[in-house]
């Protein structure tokens, strides 16, 4: 043991160790700052090259400054060493530096087990099926490296074939792993800090500033998946509300919750039930189709019928809701009217003047003013683009009268300002619009690129009415989604057939999300109910887990203890003959040798006397005449037994 721990690594093992570290680095590269990734990769490459050329150790004067540099750069980049991102960066960095001093089997073992740990840490950033599979495959080089450390192997195979046994091992481990996964008691509350809530993540924000969405609009990752009770609503009604923004400060719209106020009344004419599974957003808002009637458990309904969860959505969240799709929302505005007419003083004079001029022209016909604004967007030479020109201090003036290009944010913002200037209560609503209907899976896939902003105006007698000014400029945005709205402006991976492939592939991701990522304590309890376990508390689960592990190990031991003795073909043939004879009523008795048995059978079955006698002679000859029977004579016996007819006796 001591000897083997100190033996220097052979080149193959070193290659596998370096390969394992490269896999870890590659998996973490997306979350590392690029300079760190590049530096670590070059350290890895240089060390590999150095060790290949000559078996020289890395000097200590090089190792210590590198370690210090790693710590310093991580602290200066992230601000601290702890937390998800800096911790992962630190782990990857230490792992790569470990290679510098990897000379013996012991070093390699330590490095490879730490590599397994670091691989798992990659899942903190992304839990999708693809990420999990990639990490599982990333386990193969460390496993292969550990195997290669064992002395006395047969000639080592090609590098890629070294990986296969690890795959087999993981595959064999899968049943037990699934059992453990199903039965491991889950924690009700985290033991220590949950993942960083302050982390930047693309998603809807409670503040809308022009150009703030563009990041979102090219982010193609799924945002939510919705399945409906009954048919899905048509594409132009797929509006998912998240934030209702009422306050404008001249540059940004903000969501301000009117605290401690009951939700405004809604008169629903038509409702729909649906089930949403929301990807983690690190935000508290739960998007809902149109106007929700009630909040799901663990969330509350705010005054303007936004659904706000009790805590940020850090993991996949499922909720079922009922919403009104035809409704009258807040028929009486009352004293809140002033809030929806708020405008900052001293901004956008030309826009305000335009709004006022419409009021003067159309009098009290609010609907005509709305139409006038939409006509302006439609016929006023406006262009839909994801990369609009920058706007100055009077953003809406610049947009409406100078640049005339923008996307949903600009249009909804300008429209709302115009309405308020004309004295019509109005507000901006952000959320998602559209989505891809996955017919095979029966659900609507809404991506982050489906993020959208529109307006609501309050009309007397009708309450809040949704108006989507973007649709006036670019109707395709509503009917076909963001990708169709700006052909040629989207990255290659969002276009054409690739997009439709991705949409189909999403069904697998949904199963993964439902089955694995969404498997929580609640689901665990539901799983055990059919087996008569009503309240699966942690101790019951632990007991079940122990039983399952013992059973699995017993199965493993049974497999291990089984010895496959090569069976004698002559004996197999005889057994087959015994079965045939037993069907005719001549069963072999315990303690009856083959000769006695077959002679008795021949006596009892006179019709087959000759055949049986011949079979007996053949068998006895095979058994006892030669030390090693020839394969032809064996085959002849097998054929004779197969052709032996079973004659039904009528007694």
Partner 1 sequence: MRSNLRRLAQRARVRAERRLPALTRLRQPEPLPIELGRRRIYIVPTAFGLGFGVLLLVMLVGALNYANNAALLLTCMLGAATAASMLLAFRTLDGLSLRGIRAGHAVAGEPLELVLDFAAQRPRESVRLDCAGESLAFAVQGTTELRLRLATTRRGWLALPRFKLWSTWPLGLFRAWSWLHPQQSVLVWPRPEAAGPPPVLPGDARECLRPQAGEELAALRDYRRGDAPRHIAWKASARHHDLLVKDFDRPEPRETWRLEWDALRTLDREARIARLARWLGDAEAQGRRYSLQLPNERIDIGSGPAHYARCMSALAVLP
Which residues are designated catalytic? 408, 452, 468
Q: Does 184 bind partner 1 (CB under 8 A)?
A: yes
The answer to whether 274 and 323 are in contact (CB under 8 A) is yes
Range list of H helices, 79-191: 84-100, 105-121, 129-138, 140-148, 159-162, 164-183
Question: Which of 154, 534, 648, 651 is in the footprint of partner 1 by CB under 8 A?
Answer: 154
What's the chain's length in residues?
651
Owner of token pair 């004419």: 269
Of 13-21, 180-188, 480-488, 616-624: span binding partner 1 (CB under 8 A): 180-188
| Closest approach of partner 1 to the CB of residue 415, in Å | 42
Q: Does 177 bind partner 1 (CB under 8 A)?
A: yes
Name which of 30 and 585 has its Cβ closer to partner 1: 30
| Closest approach of partner 1 to the CB of residue 519, in Å | 6
| Closest approach of partner 1 to the CB of residue 311, in Å | 12
# residues contacting partner 1 (CB under 8 A): 65
Show the tokens assigned to 461.
């007698």
Q: Give the residue from 137, 78, 69, 135 showing the smallest Cα distance to 97.
A: 69
Q: What is each CA distance from 589 to 21, 258, 474, 605, in whole angstroms? A: 66, 91, 90, 16
Q: Does 163 bind partner 1 (CB under 8 A)?
A: no
Phi and psi, residue 201, nearest 5°: -150, 140
Name which of 132 and 503 has its Cβ closer to partner 1: 132
Q: Is 69 helix (H, G, I), strand (E, B) or coil?
A: helix
Which residues lie closer than 8 Å to 232 by C-beta, 6 or more apart? 226, 238, 437, 444
| Closest approach of partner 1 to the CB of residue 113, in Å | 5
Which residues lie closer than 8 Å to 572 by C-beta, 6 or more apart? none
Q: Does 117 bind partner 1 (CB under 8 A)?
A: yes
Of 91-99, 170-178, 459-467, 489-497: span binding partner 1 (CB under 8 A): 170-178
Please tell me what DSSP assigns to residue 128.
S
The answer to whether 467 and 374 are in contact (CB under 8 A) is yes
Name which of 196 and 300 has its Cβ closer to partner 1: 196
**Binding marks (x or -) toward partner 1, 76..115, rule CB under 8 A?**
---------------------------------x---xx-
Q: Does 590 bind partner 1 (CB under 8 A)?
A: no
Contacting partner 1 within 308-347 (CB under 8 A): 314-315
The answer to whether 351 and 448 are in contact (CB under 8 A) is no
Contacting partner 1 within 122-141 (CB under 8 A): 123-124, 127-128, 131-132, 135-136, 139
Q: Give the residue from 56, 55, 88 showing the smallest Cα distance to 74.
A: 88
Name which of 266 and 278 has its Cβ closer to partner 1: 278
Of 185-193, 363-371, 608-616, 629-637: span binding partner 1 (CB under 8 A): 185-193
Question: Which of 250, 556, 569, 629 is in the footprint of partner 1 by CB under 8 A?
Answer: 556
Q: Does 195 bind partner 1 (CB under 8 A)?
A: yes
Contacting partner 1 within 485-524 (CB under 8 A): 516-520
**Binding marks (x or -) toward partner 1, 439..478, rule CB under 8 A?**
----------------------------------------
The answer to whether 454 and 469 are in contact (CB under 8 A) is yes
Alpha carbon distance 579, 585 (integer Å): 10
| Closest approach of partner 1 to the CB of residue 534, in Å | 23
Of 163-171, 257-265, 390-398, 410-418: span binding partner 1 (CB under 8 A): 163-171
Alpha carbon distance 143, 115 (integer Å): 10
> Pairing between strand 463-467 and 451-459?
antiparallel
Alpha carbon distance 124, 60 (integer Å): 34
Q: Is 317 helix (H, G, I), strand (E, B) or coil?
A: strand
Burial letters for 219-236: b for 16+ Cβ neighbours within 10 Å, e otherwise? bbebbbbbbbeeebbeee
Name which of 335 and 562 has its Cβ closer to partner 1: 562
Q: Does 389 bind partner 1 (CB under 8 A)?
A: no
Of 45-53, 179-187, 281-289, 583-591: span binding partner 1 (CB under 8 A): 179-187
Of 61-69, 182-190, 292-300, 364-372: span binding partner 1 (CB under 8 A): 182-190
| Closest approach of partner 1 to the CB of residue 49, in Å | 27
Name which of 534 and 564 has its Cβ closer to partner 1: 564
Owner of token pair 């230490």: 94
| Closest approach of partner 1 to the CB of residue 237, in Å | 34
| Closest approach of partner 1 to the CB of residue 357, in Å | 57
| Closest approach of partner 1 to the CB of residue 220, in Å | 20
Which residues lie closer than 8 Å to 454 by C-beta, 6 or more apart? 239, 408, 412, 428, 429, 433, 466, 467, 468, 469, 470
Question: Which of 186, 337, 361, 603 is in the footprint of partner 1 by CB under 8 A?
Answer: 186
Residues pairing with 443 in the sheet: 438
| Closest approach of partner 1 to the CB of residue 21, in Å | 17
Burial letters for 358-390: b for 16+ Cβ neighbours within 10 Å, e otherwise? bbeebeeebeebbebbbebbeeeebebbbebee
| Closest approach of partner 1 to the CB of residue 380, in Å | 50
Alpha carbon distance 198, 220 (integer Å): 22
Q: Is 455 helix (H, G, I), strand (E, B) or coil?
A: strand
Question: Which of 147, 273, 282, 328 is in the footprint of partner 1 by CB under 8 A?
Answer: 147
Alpha carbon distance 514, 453 (integer Å): 29
Binding site for partner 1 (CB under 8 A): 1-3, 109, 113-114, 116-117, 119-121, 123-124, 127-128, 131-132, 135-136, 139, 143, 146-147, 149-154, 165, 169-170, 172-178, 180-181, 184, 186-187, 190-192, 194-195, 314-315, 516-520, 552-553, 556-557, 559-561, 563-564
């Amino acid at each position: 043991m001591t000897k083997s721990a100190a033996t220097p690594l052979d080149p193959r093992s070193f290659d596998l160790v370096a390969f394992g570290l490269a896999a870890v680095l590659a998996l973490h590269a997306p979350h590392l700052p690029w300079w760190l990734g590049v530096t670590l990769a070059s350290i890895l490459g240089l060390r590999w090259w150095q060790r290949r050329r000559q078996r020289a150790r890395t000097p200590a004067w090089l190792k210590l400054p590198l370690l210090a540099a790693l710590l310093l750069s991580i602290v200066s980049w992230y601000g601290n060493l702890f937390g998800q991102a800096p911790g992962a960066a630190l782990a990857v960095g230490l792992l790569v530096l470990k290679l510098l001093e990897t000379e013996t089997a012991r070093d390699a073992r330590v490095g490879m087990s730490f590599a397994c740990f670091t691989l798992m840490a990659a899942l903190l950033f992304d839990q999708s099926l693809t990420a999990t599979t990639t990490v599982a495959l990333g386990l193969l080089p460390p496993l292969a490296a550990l195997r290669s450390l064992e002395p006395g192997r047969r000639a080592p195979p090609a590098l890629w074939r070294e990986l296969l046994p690890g795959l087999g091992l993981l595959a064999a481990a899968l049943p037990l792993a699934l059992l453990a996964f199903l039965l491991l008691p889950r924690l009700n509350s985290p033991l220590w800090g949950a993942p960083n809530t302050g982390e930047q993540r693309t998603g809807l924000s409670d503040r809308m500033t022009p150009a703030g969405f563009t990041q979102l609009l090219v982010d193609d990752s799924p945002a939510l998946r919705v399945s409906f009770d009954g048919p899905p609503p048509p594409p132009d009604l797929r509006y998912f509300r998240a934030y209702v923004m009422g306050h404008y400060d001249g540059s940004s719209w903000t969501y301000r919750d009117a605290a401690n106020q009951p939700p405004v009344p809604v008169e629903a004419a038509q409702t729909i039930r649906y089930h949403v599974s929301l990807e983690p957003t690190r935000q508290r808002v739960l998007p809902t189709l149109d106007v929700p009637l009630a909040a799901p458990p663990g969330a509350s309904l705010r005054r303007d019928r936004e659904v706000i969860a009790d805590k940020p959505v850090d993991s996949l969240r499922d909720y079922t809701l009922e919403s009104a799709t035809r409704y009258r929302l807040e028929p009486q505005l009352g004293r809140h009217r002033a809030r929806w007419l708020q405008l900052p003083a001293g901004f956008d004079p030309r826009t305000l003047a335009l709004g006022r001029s419409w009021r003067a022209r159309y009098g009290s016909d609010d609907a005509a003013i709305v139409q006038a604004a939409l006509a302006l967007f439609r016929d006023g030479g406006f262009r839909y683009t994801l990369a609009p020109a920058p706007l100055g201090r009077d953003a809406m003036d610049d947009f409406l009268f100078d640049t005339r290009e923008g996307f949903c944010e600009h249009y909804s913002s300008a429209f709302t300002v115009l309405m308020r200037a004309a004295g019509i209560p109005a507000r901006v609503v952000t959320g998602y619009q559209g989505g891809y209907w996955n017919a095979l899976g029966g659900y609507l896939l809404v991506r982050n690129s489906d993020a959208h902003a529109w307006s609501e105006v309050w009309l007397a007698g009708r309450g809040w009415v949704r108006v989507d000014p973007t649709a006036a400029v670019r109707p395709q945005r509503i009917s076909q989604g963001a990708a169709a709205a700006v052909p040629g402006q989207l990255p290659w991976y969002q276009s054409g057939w690739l997009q439709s492939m991705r949409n189909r592939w999403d069904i697998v991701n949904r199963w993964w999300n439902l089955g694995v990522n969404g498997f929580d304590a609640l689901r665990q309890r539901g799983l055990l109910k059919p087996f008569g376990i009503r309240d699966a508390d942690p101790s019951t689960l632990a007991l079940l887990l122990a039983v399952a592990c013992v059973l699995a190990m017993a199965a493993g031991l049974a497999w291990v203890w089984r010895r496959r003795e090569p069976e004698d073909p002559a004996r197999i043939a005889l057994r087959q003959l015994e079965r045939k004879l037993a069907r005719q009523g001549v069963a072999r008795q315990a303690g009856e040798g083959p000769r006695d048995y077959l002679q008795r059978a021949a006596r009892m079955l006179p019709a087959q006397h000759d055949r049986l006698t011949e079979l007996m002679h053949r068998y006895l000859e095979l058994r006892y005449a030669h030390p090693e029977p020839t394969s032809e004579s064996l085959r002849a016996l097998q054929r004779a037994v197969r052709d032996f007819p079973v004659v039904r006796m009528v007694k």
